Amino acid sequence: MGNFKDLTGQRFGRLVAVKKIEEGKHAKWLFQCDCGNEHVAQQANVLGGRHTRSCGCLAREVAVTSNTTHGMCHTRVYAIYAGVKSRCRNKNNHAYSVYGGRGLTVCDEWLNDPQSFFDWAINNGYADNLTIDRKDNDKGYSPDNCRWSTAKEQSRNRRSNVVITVNGTTKLAVDWARELNIAPAVITKRIRRGWDAVDAVVMPLKPGGKRSQDDFNKAKLLFAGVQ
């Protein structure tokens, strides 16, 4: 008890001590951060002054503001932001034709204020393993139409994905292919050649194909009655 220090109510950077929650050599305290978050930290780290001064919000801000101009340069978030603007506004961008070339834009809020994009990113699930994804691929980049997604999630939200509806059931071509044991490329190539979507799934492969008769019968049964 001789080493006990009552920190209650004391301020350390952005942290105000609320109560001690763990005794011993590595005593821990619960703190209230100025940003509104609660944070648990070791007493020694807080008393050192150089280590823990916020719940983590200060480190994020320092990392941003230490950069030039708008405080985002050299961060992954800024690279994503710059890519979004380039795809929609730079005619020399290799992807312009499928973004800006077809009318997709960046909302004024983000276009005129990079910090606004950064704040949205941090507050809406940004992580280094995620990329920005538009919920509706026919709309541009704005807070209400964007989210952070994994590569797998993005692959299922591409404009180029082929969607097939049969008997009221809608699935991506890749999902029909998996269910009926046929290569997704076979279905998509057939449709691009002008085939009816249902025929593209049901019709048997050419001689030598790996699709079994059972798979073919299953497909016919599934789509029975479809004209």
Distance CA 87, CA 93 (A): 6
Whether the per-residue pLDDT at 43 is higher than 50: the answer is: yes
pLDDT over 70, % of the chain:
68
Token digits for 191? 């449709």
Between helix 173-180 and helix 184-192 the angle, nearest 10°, is 130
Per-residue pLDDT, 156: 54
Candidates 23, 37, 14, 35; CA nearest to 6 is 23
204 or 17: whose pLDDT is higher?
17
Distance CA 155, CA 134 (A): 12
17 or 45: whose pLDDT is higher?
17
Q: Which of the listed ranges 44-48, 106-110, 147-151 does the model predict with the highest average pLDDT? A: 106-110
The C-alpha angle 40, 45, 51, rounded to 5 degrees, equals 100
Per-residue pLDDT, 6: 84
Whether the per-residue pLDDT at 208 is higher than 60: the answer is: no
Q: Are 39 and 55 in contact (CB under 8 A)?
A: yes
86 or 14: whose pLDDT is higher?
86
Domains of the chain by residue range: 11-58, 67-154, 163-222
3-state secondary structure of 51: coil
Average confidence score pLDDT of the chain: 75
**If pLDDT is split at 50, 70 and 90, which confidence band does 2 have?**
very low
Per-residue pLDDT, 143: 92
Per-residue pLDDT, 69: 47
Per-residue pLDDT, 214: 60
- In sequence order, which residues have a C-beta less than 8 Å from that of residue 154 and are 6 or more positions away? 131, 133
Q: Are 38 and 32 in contact (CB under 8 A)?
A: yes
Distance CA 123, CA 143 (A): 11
Per-residue pLDDT, 63: 53
Whether the per-residue pLDDT at 227 is higher than 50: the answer is: no
Phi, psi of 179 (to 5 degrees): -70, -35
Average pLDDT rounded to a whole number, residues 181-207: 72
pLDDT digits (tens, 9 = 90+) for 91-137: 888 878 878 988 999 999 898 888 889 888 888 888 888 888 888 87
